[in-house]
Structure 1
């Protein structure tokens, strides 16, 4: 009898119970093994696709974008390091998208000034590099020299087309506004008003319980305004250096929040307060309820003269200019696919002319009149803010919209990253008419590249942002504000690109009301 060791195995015989279990286990293990291998391969494949362009490809793409916007030989990409990426989708586009983050050193190959108002500037550079104001370090407002290096935290967006990643436009989120004054009254100051505060709390609770969201929103807005006004009056009465800015998240609020920190001293704190904008600011300054304020030069001129927006009201004769800060261009936005290429082409179209009572709406009327048009020439006219107007343009509800803003404006940048847009240039005759009729306008060119996909500069007019004060504001306070402002431009620019355009050389451009004596003396100094 053969020993089991040498037993003949019948390959056709049914397997024993043990071998059946063994083979079954091995088969399952094999399947699991290959399934795992397959999944790993798939993950690696997807990861490889998701990874997108590498360091060298990114560096070449960034250099190409710079050379397309600035003169070749102005900059070179000294170094670039890929920092990471994430996938995302864009509404209406089925393609997978990838946003790649990178750090780079961009070297100046020639002397160049990035703070010019109407030449390719820091706004153009920031847009094409996919950066935020805080993401570009090393810009010298007076002009950079050959060999200077910018340190950039940028981004590049791509859309997947089969095996290829194609560059696409992307507008990075704007830096959050600098924090303004602390919210909430001093607890010690609440004590005399406990009953009233308790009643207000009951009103809020009842509105919330009943689900009346619209009424609750208005209630909270009124309370915030009351709190803001009370804090402003308290700060003013205590001798603080007070600054009226503008709507929350706007350029004035952002700049004012940073100025609050820079101007504050132990002996004299500074406080910045949100307002509805230039018109309210002129009134607050004229009444002596705030020390300093931001105001558009056209609104200040109307306030001082009692015209247009201030018609029928006593002129605000006590407001004085301190300096010009930066231009705020009147912009007409339409889709690149639109046939609208001039103001005249808006005849018969649907337009948005800005919020009622806003400077933007007044500027829209001025442009429309200069082009010898009237509101009756449009198919329809609405009035919203730029964010809502941009959404309506994207949705096809309107054909174009007017607004006045520093540039690049987040509302337009966000729209341009999703749909190609066109800024409508003004004809030379219209610009000439506007200059003759309104002394506060200046001709300006918004540089190419200010917005994603903007291939050519836009000829338009601009008003300017000014700082104003009352005629009796002490000279030492005016000097402290102006000295700090111009000395701290680099810090201001980390919060808003408009900070780069603040310069003593431009400080008296398009001043539309009398200059404060202390400011006049300040600019006479060598």
Structure 2
């Protein structure tokens, strides 16, 4: 007895997909792949293209094949956890098409996700496009990692006090700015942005190195004039600054920033749409990253193909899962931010506009 699964791709054309595929992974293909730990992912049973390989007899002796996906994301307070949960929600709603169970897993963030991938413990992780890029060129290797898709923008936003007189990043000289702790990702991004705009640390009125969770309080009590974040929007964190002390939302686009974006393949011009935040009546021009889904190369093609397919074909459902996904555009999933070679499951989706047909045969394990 079997249940034939029949699927039909909607929306993306073959021509567009072919262009996306040809443009991807150019940097990663020529690298020598070093040895890396065996693939032994957390939280899922052993499985292959034909489904999970259960070692114990199921109480239900007539069990159709099924597959399992666990996505390492970030802290439960962060956007990555909710985006991974959103992917799993889409797979849950479309379960009868593919029979893939999905669970989001907490992690310490991008750095922890890279470690988990390199230890062979992760099927899939959330990272930023700079991590994807530096893995592809060998600067920060993830030899077993393969691109899955870019999912949403993480856009730079400059948040300033109303009394500061700041209208752009070029107005920062003489102002009190929290750049984040030395050695942090935020500090590194700040240094790149300041350098691109010919602003030295000595040009600032006062430099603070407090953690990001201090920003709203410091801005609203008058201790600083400005802070910046590279995040998905809308962000409750940013809205709290607007609501508490009428903070102003600015982009970080300038002639200098444009040159920075042109010089870095993992950065892109981006816009925070009008009315994303209270009293923000116009679009805000800025720049930023993409948040990317990356798979271990040994994650079954079947799982990867059906995961990206489900998200691409159920864009409205995916957008509902978190405010940061409200502007999700499936046409950009494979077009930006995927410096690592695409996973073979993604290549199957791009080349065929579909995933392999499967007969969900009910198997008797006896």
Alignment TM-score, normalising by the size of structure 1: 0.51
Q: What per-residue deviation string (whole Å, max 9, x for no partner) do you get for residues 418-455 of structure 1?
A: 32222333454123211232111111222222111113
Shift of 1:382: 2.9
> Quick one: distance in 2 between partners of 1:288 and 1:466?
19
Based on CA coordinates, which of the two structures has the bigger radius of gyration? Answer: 1
Out of 509, 518, 521, the position equivalent to 2:345 is: 518
- Are 2:129 and 1:302 equivalent residues in the alignment? no
Out of 188, 191, 195, the position equivalent to 1:365 is: 191
Shift of 1:306: 4.7
Shift of 1:292: 0.7
Structure 1 counterpart of 2:27: none
In structure 1, runs of 5+ residues without a counterpart are: 1-141, 143-231
Structure 2 counterpart of 1:420: 246
Shift of 1:384: 4.1
> Quick one: distance in 2 between partners of 1:456 and 1:396?
26
Shift of 1:461: 0.6
Shift of 1:355: 5.0
> Quick one: distance in 1 between partners of 2:148 and 2:42?
24
Q: What per-residue deviation string (whole Å, max 9, x for no partner) do you get for residues 234-254 of structure 1?
A: 514555411011121211111
Structure 1 counterpart of 2:74: 246
1:32-43 correspondence runs (5 A): none
Structure 2 counterpart of 1:161: none
Change (3 A) 1:358 1:297: farther
Structure 2 counterpart of 1:477: 303
Shift of 1:262: 4.0
Structure 1 counterpart of 2:121: 289
Q: Secondary structure at the match of 1:407?
A: coil
1:319-330 correspondence runs (5 A): 319-330=145-156
Shift of 1:394: 0.7
Shift of 1:519: 1.2
Q: Is the 8 A contact 2:253 2:287 kept in 1?
A: no
Structure 2 counterpart of 1:493: 319
Structure 1 counterpart of 2:331: 505
Q: Is the 8 A contact 1:236 1:289 kept in 2?
A: no
Out of 236, 240, 250, the position equivalent to 1:410 is: 236
Change (3 A) 1:261 1:504: closer
> Quick one: distance in 2 between partners of 1:506 and 1:426?
22
Change (3 A) 1:357 1:487: farther
> Quick one: distance in 1 between partners of 2:172 and 2:136?
33
- Are 2:202 and 1:376 equivalent residues in the alignment? yes
Instruction: Out of 256-265 and 398-407, give the one that drifted further.
Output: 256-265
Change (3 A) 1:393 1:306: farther
Q: What per-residue deviation string (whole Å, max 9, x for no partner) do you get for residues 381-421 of structure 1?
A: 33445442112111111111111111111111111123222
Structure 2 counterpart of 1:316: 142
> Quick one: distance in 2 between partners of 1:411 and 1:329?
14
Structure 1 counterpart of 2:291: 465
Q: Is the 8 A contact 1:354 1:402 kept in 2?
A: no
Structure 2 counterpart of 1:107: none
Change (3 A) 1:281 1:355: farther
Shift of 1:366: 1.5
- Are 2:278 and 1:452 equivalent residues in the alignment? yes
> Quick one: distance in 1 between partners of 2:309 and 2:253?
39
Larger helix share, 1 or 2 = 1
- Are 2:67 and 1:259 equivalent residues in the alignment? no
Q: Secondary structure at the match of 1:325?
A: strand
Q: Is the 8 A contact 2:303 2:345 kept in 1?
A: no
Change (3 A) 1:355 1:325: farther
Q: What per-residue deviation string (whole Å, max 9, x for no partner) do you get for residues 189-218 of structure 1?
A: xxxxxxxxxxxxxxxxxxxxxxxxxxxxxx
> How many residues are matched?
290
> Quick one: distance in 2 between partners of 1:480 and 1:442?
28
Q: Is the 8 A contact 2:173 2:203 kept in 1?
A: yes
Change (3 A) 1:524 1:233: closer
Q: What per-residue deviation string (whole Å, max 9, x for no partner) do you get for residues 71-124 of structure 1?
A: xxxxxxxxxxxxxxxxxxxxxxxxxxxxxxxxxxxxxxxxxxxxxxxxxxxxxx
State the superposition RMSD in angstroms: 2.6
Change (3 A) 1:512 1:422: farther
1:162-173 correspondence runs (5 A): none
In structure 2, runs of 5+ residues without a counterpart are: 1-10, 12-39, 48-67, 354-366
- Are 2:271 and 1:439 equivalent residues in the alignment? no
Structure 2 counterpart of 1:121: none
> Quick one: distance in 1 between partners of 2:319 and 2:296?
27
Q: Secondary structure at the match of 1:454?
A: coil
Q: Is the 8 A contact 1:325 1:501 kept in 2?
A: no
Q: What per-residue deviation string (whole Å, max 9, x for no partner) do you get for residues 133-180 of structure 1?
A: xxxxxxxxx9xxxxxxxxxxxxxxxxxxxxxxxxxxxxxxxxxxxxxx
Structure 2 counterpart of 1:235: 43
1:43-442 correspondence runs (5 A): 234-236=42-44, 238-239=46-47, 240-263=68-91, 269-307=101-139, 310=140, 315-354=141-180, 358-442=184-268
